[in-house]
Amino acid sequence: MLAIFKKELRSYFTSMIGYVFISLFLAIIGIFFIFNNLLSRQGNFEYTITNVSFIFVLLVPLLTMRIMAEENKQKTDQLLLTSPVTAGEIVMGKFLSVFAILLTVIALISTYPLIMNLYGEVPFASSYGSIIGFILLGGSYIALGIFLSSLTDSQVVAAIITFIVFFITLFMENIAGSISTNHSTAFVFFSVIVVILCLILWNMVRNLMLTIGIGIIAEGIITAIYLYNPTLYDGAIVKVFSWLSATSRFDNFYMGIFDLADIIFYLSIIFVFLFLSTQVIKKKRWS
C-alpha cells in the first residue's frame, strides 16, 4: 500500500498535475479570501470556505481522472494485480495519495484564520469547523472520483463522467426541488431506483436469481408501504436528495454545528465508493 501511495504522489509531481491542482486551488481560495475576508474586513473564514465548496467539482477530476483509468490503459494493472497486494490496498494507497495532496493545500489555508487573528477577532470554532467539513467533503469527492475513474480505461471519458456526476451532486437539492412532491410520483421514482440498483447489482455479481429475488423483495416493501400509508411518500424525493446531498450536509459545518451524523455520513460515502472501486477491480478477474 505504501509503495502505491508513494508512487502515486511521485507521479503527481513528476507531471504537472500536482502543481496545477495546488496552484489553482490556492488561487481560487485566495480570490475568495480577498473578497470575503480581506476587502470586506470580516474574520469569518467559513464564508470563504462555503463559497469555494464548488472547487472540488472543478479540481478533483483533475487528480482522479487518470488514477485508475490510466492503469487500465497502460496495462499496468497487470503488474498491480499480479503482485502480492490486495485490491483494497491498491485503492487505499491511491485514495491516500490524492487525499495527501488535498491535506497539503488545506494545511496551507488553515493558516489564514491565524494570520487574520493577528489583526482582529476570528471565530475559530466555525472557521476550523468549516475546514474539517471541507476536508470531509473533499474526501467524499475524491472517493467518488476514484470510483468513476475505475470504470473506464480512458482519462478523458473518466474526466467527463466525473465532471458531470460532480455537477449533479452540486445541484442535487435544486433538482429534487423541481420534482413533484405527490406520493404517486415518489412511488414510481423509488420503483425505478430499485430497478436501476438491481441492474447494477446484476452487472456486478451476474447472479440472476439473487438479483431478481432482491428486486422483488425491495419492490414489495415499497408497494406495501405505499398501500399501507401513501402519505409517507409525500415530499420523500426531496428528503432523500437532501439527505444524500453532500453539499447540504456541509452547511452544518459552516454554521459551526459539529454533528456526529454528518461526519459519519461523509465517512460512509468515502467508504462506500472506495469499496465499490475495489469491487470493480476484483470484478475484472471474473469477466
Partner 1 sequence: MIEVKNLVKRYGNHIAVDQLSFTVDKGQILGFLGPNGAGKSTTMNIITGYISATEGTVKVNGIDVFEEPEEVKKMIGYLPEFPPLYPELTVLEYLNFVAELKKVKQSERKKMVKDIMEITKITDMKERLIKHLSKGYKQRVGLAQAIMGYPDVIILDEPTVGLDPKQITQIRDLIRELSKNHTVILSSHIMQEVSAVCDSVMIINKGKLILQDKPENLSSHFNKSGSLKLVVRGDRKAVLKALNDIEKIKKLEETESLEQGTISFTIYSNESDDAREDIFYAMSRINTPILEMQSIRMSLEDIFLKVTQDGTSLMDEEEGI
Contact positions with partner 1 (CB under 8 A) in 13-72:
14-15
Residue 164: which of 266, 61, 240, 280 has the closest Cα? 61
- Please give the Cα distance from 122 to 45 (Å, whole number): 8
User: What is each CA distance from 22 to 5, 35, 57, 112, 214, in whole angstroms?
Assistant: 18, 20, 15, 16, 45
Contact flag: residue 115 with partner 1 (CB under 8 A): no
Total number of residues binding partner 1 (CB under 8 A)? 26
Q: How far is the CB of 71 from partner 1 (least distance, A)?
A: 9
Contact flag: residue 76 with partner 1 (CB under 8 A): yes
Q: How far is the CB of 163 from partner 1 (least distance, A)?
A: 23
Note whether 265 and 249 are within 8 A (CB): yes
- Please give the Cα distance from 122 to 117 (Å, whole number): 6
CB of 85 or CB of 103, closer to partner 1: 85
Q: How far is the CB of 209 from partner 1 (least distance, A)?
A: 19
Note whether 137 and 247 are within 8 A (CB): yes
> Which letter does DSSP use for residue 233 in this model?
G
CB of 15 or CB of 117, closer to partner 1: 15
Site string for partner 1, 267-286 (x = CB under 8 A): -----------------xxx
- Please give the Cα distance from 47 to 52 (Å, whole number): 9
Q: Give the residue, chosen from 11, 154, 242, 248, that forms a contact with partner 1 under the rule CB under 8 A.
A: 11
What is the binding site for partner 1 (CB under 8 A)? 2-4, 6-7, 10-11, 14-15, 74-86, 284-287
